[in-house]
Amino acid sequence: MPTIDKDILKFLYTACIGVSEDSFKAAANRAYLDFCWTMTFGEMNDSGKQKLRNEAVEILCERINTLIKMPNITVNDFDIWHKDTCTQLQKQYSNSGITLTIGQAQKWINMTIKYLYVVGYNDFKTVLPFLHIPIDNVIFYAAKDKLDIPKLTESWSKLDSYEKYIDYQNKLRNKIKECEPLRWELRYWIEYARITSKGKGYKKCQS
């Protein structure tokens, strides 16, 4: 890792996840913005949405704390943890009559971890090889182009089968040889986001 001026690093940290002193909550709230535009809340008011969000952020942060304290974790342990976390987030929303799909839940979990990793939260070292790639339309395109993995038939935000989701993650794991999957995502997401934004053989990301 290169040496970075501490003031520059502090600015990048703040630009990435905000000014909160609680890194977990800051990352979880930032990650919420990456998928919330795909959700439907019916007639629920802003206060109700915020309450649900705050409760879900607490669950997610507690689950991540559990993850980093797990001893001798294996890939199977991580996948079980991930599925259970998706289920808990879905239940939190379904109790209020709101649907949170697997696609939306995985984006929330995986982007929260990604933000924490990017800003230098080092307690993910033991699980880095197992971390999931946040699935979205840019990754569908990159994985098809670089790894010859067909995209899923559903848009990422409508995906509601954990079996289909984990099967796709395992295909990514099996094909990515150059580095850990999350580091692969960091390496190629920006490149393919630029390509997709220009409309080169790909429709603009919508859901």
Q: What is the pLDDT of residues 184-196, one digit of tens each?
A: 999 999 888 888 7
Residues 137-147: what's their mean pLDDT? 95
CA separation for the pair 98, 147 (Å, rounded): 35
pLDDT in tens, 70-94: 999 999 999 999 999 999 999 999 9
Q: Which residues, including other chains, have CB under 8 Å from residue 156's CB and lie 6 or more apart? A: 103, 107, 135, 136, 137, 140, 207
With cut-offs at 50, 70 and 90, classify the pLDDT of residue 1: low
CA separation for the pair 136, 151 (Å, rounded): 10
| Global confidence as pTM | 0.88
pLDDT in tens, 32-45: 999 999 999 999 99
- Residue 151 DSSP class: P
Q: How many residues does the chain have?
A: 207
Res 118: pLDDT: 86
Ramachandran angles phi, psi of 199, nearest 5°: 75, 25
Residues 1-5: what's their mean pLDDT? 60
CA separation for the pair 86, 5 (Å, rounded): 37
Res 12: pLDDT: 66
pLDDT in tens, 91-110: 999 999 999 999 999 999 99
Res 202: pLDDT: 38
Number of H helices and E strands in the chain, helices first, is: 8, 0
User: Scanning the structure block, which residue is given the tokens 């290169």?
Assistant: 2
